[in-house]
């Protein structure tokens, strides 16, 4: 990648220097800017899908886990992460897809939940236990008005990770990020 970049004649200077090997915080700062293409309110870090940042013989490796087995955004996200890291000066980063342990909505950060709500998507309620998957309906507060008077319209919303709800107080329909 670095050889290819040098072929481009530019007066804008070279690539910014990459963070030092072992500087995980610098890498996370770059990934914090990579947004989920389906929910562009939260970053891949806030979504909890970045599982590990490491260096193997000097080469940066980032482990990413898919939210759902068939999530069509998986490749797009991996490409976006790769592009962001190369742009930030990391030469030839490796993106590893990791299935285990399986992603859970419990890994969505507190900031991520606030951003989801502000974006109009109700964040997952409670923790992802078997009970929440099989058992009774959770009480989902409306992300618009905060009312608990809400009802589920469909088990699935605009994407596999969401269900469709509607608020009986303000009458707004909204997506609910399912507990998984």
Partner 1 sequence: MQNVSQTSQPALVEYLLRLGDNALILGQRHAEWCGHAPALEEEMGLLNVGLDLFGQARHWLGYAAELISAEGGQGEVDADHLAFRRDAQDFRNLLIVEQPNDDFAVTLGRQFLFDAWHYHLLTGLVEAKDPRVAEIAAKSLKEATYHLRRSAEWVRRLGDGTEESHARMQRAIELLWRFTGELTEFDAVDEAMREVGIAPDPEALTASWRATVEQVLDEATLARPPFDAWMYRGGKQGHHTEHLGFLLAEMQALPRAYPDATVW
Interface residues with partner 1 (CB under 8 A) are 66, 68-72, 99-102, 104, 128, 130, 133-134, 153-160, 164, 178, 180
* Smallest separation, CB 71 to partner 1 (Å): 7
* Distinct helix (H) and strand (E) counts, the chain: 5, 7
Closest CA to 179 of 98, 99, 116: 116
Our CB check for partner 1 shows the closer of 10 and 69 to be: 69
CB atoms within 10 A of CB 30: 21
* Smallest separation, CB 134 to partner 1 (Å): 6
* Smallest separation, CB 65 to partner 1 (Å): 9
* Smallest separation, CB 166 to partner 1 (Å): 11
Our CB check for partner 1 shows the closer of 6 and 158 to be: 158
Helices 74-87 and 24-31 sit at what angle, rounded to 10 degrees?
120
Phi, psi of 111 (to 5 degrees): -65, -40
* DSSP string covering 120-160: TEEPPPS---HHHHHSSPP----TTT--S-EEEEES--SST
Our CB check for partner 1 shows the closer of 143 and 157 to be: 157
Our CB check for partner 1 shows the closer of 115 and 162 to be: 162
Asked whether the beta carbons of 78 and 72 are under 8 A apart, the reply is: no
Our CB check for partner 1 shows the closer of 26 and 180 to be: 180
* Smallest separation, CB 48 to partner 1 (Å): 14
């Amino acid at each position: 990648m670095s050889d290819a970049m040098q072929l481009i004649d530019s007066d804008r200077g070279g690539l910014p220097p990459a963070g030092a090997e072992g500087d995980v915080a610098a890498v996370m700062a770059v990934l914090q800017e990579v947004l989920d293409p389906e929910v562009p309110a939260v970053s891949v870090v806030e979504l909890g899908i970045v599982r590990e940042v490491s260096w193997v013989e000097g080469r940066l490796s980032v482990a990413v886990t898919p939210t759902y087995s068939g999530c069509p955004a998986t490749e797009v996200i991996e490409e976006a992460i790769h592009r962001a890291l190369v742009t930030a000066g990391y030469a030839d980063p490796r993106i590893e897809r990791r299935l285990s342990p399986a992603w859970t909505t419990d890994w969505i950060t507190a900031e991520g939940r606030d951003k989801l709500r502000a974006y109009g998507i109700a964040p997952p309620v409670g923790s992802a236990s078997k009970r929440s998957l099989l058992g009774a309906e959770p009480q989902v507060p409306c992300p618009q008005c905060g009312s608990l008077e809400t009802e589920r319209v469909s088990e699935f919303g605009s994407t596999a990770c969401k269900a469709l709800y509607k608020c009986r107080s303000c009458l707004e329909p909204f997506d609910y990020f399912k507990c998984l």
